[in-house]
Every structure is written in structure tokens, then in C-alpha cells.
């Protein structure tokens, strides 16, 4: 069973590597943020799988911390984007 869990963890690691491409190319900040959320989600899943496969419950605690940090990061991004949208004038750059 541990071999399957290691295999799933490796698959998730490959998805994170593909997500790096999206962070680099990403045309918008939203695309980059979603890729960063992929890192958080996949990181949590990888840690849970490895913790189970290697019988290391401490990795579960680290996964919980990563999950909380990913949620805080998403909230901070949304607040930053919302603050930027409120500071722009309604008529556009030419003031019309």
C-alpha cells in the first residue's frame, strides 16, 4: 500500500512542476495565484500521503500548517486585488 501512496505523491509532485510553468507564463496575477494555490493544495496532499506511507504523524501537522497558510494567502490576495480595484477611478485613465 505504501508503494501506491509514494506513486500518488510523485504524481502530485509532477502536477506542481507543471504548475511552475503557469506561474512563469501566467498572463494575469489571478492565474499566478491559482497556480500558487495548486502548490499549497498539492503540498498538503503530498505531505499527508508521505506521512501515511512512512508512518510519520508529524507530517500531518506540517500539512495542517500548510493548509492554513494557503488559506491566508488566498485571503490576502483577494484583499489586495479588491483594494487595487477600489483605488482606480471609475471613468478610466482619461477621466471620462
Note the pLDDT tens digit of each residue in 35-90. Answer: 888 888 999 999 999 999 999 999 999 999 999 998 898 888 888 887 777 776 66
Q: Which three cell numbers stand for residue 60?
A: 500531518
Give pTM, 2 decimals. Answer: 0.74
Q: How far is CA 32 from CA 57, 62, 72, 76, 85, in A?
A: 32, 24, 16, 14, 18
pLDDT at 16: 87
The pLDDT confidence band at residue 93, using thresholds 50, 70 and 90, is low
Q: Which three cell numbers stand for residue 18?
A: 507543471
Burial of 21 (0-12, 13-18, 19+ CB in 10 A): exposed
What is the average per-residue pLDDT within 20-36? 80
pLDDT at 74: 86
Count Cα atoms within 13 angstroms, Cβ side, for 49: 19
Amino acid at each position: 500500500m505504501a508503494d501506491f501512496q509514494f506513486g500518488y505523491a510523485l504524481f502530485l509532485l509532477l502536477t506542481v512542476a507543471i504548475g511552475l510553468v503557469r506561474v512563469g507564463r501566467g498572463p494575469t496575477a489571478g492565474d499566478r495565484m491559482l497556480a500558487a494555490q495548486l502548490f499549497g493544495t498539492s503540498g498538503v496532499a503530498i505531505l499527508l500521503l508521505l506521512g501515511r506511507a512512512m508512518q510519520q504523524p508529524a507530517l500531518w501537522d506540517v500539512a495542517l500548517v500548510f493548509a492554513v497558510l494557503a488559506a491566508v494567502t488566498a485571503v490576502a490576495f483577494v484583499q489586495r486585488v479588491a483594494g487595487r480595484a477600489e483605488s482606480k477611478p471609475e471613468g478610466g485613465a482619461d477621466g471620462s
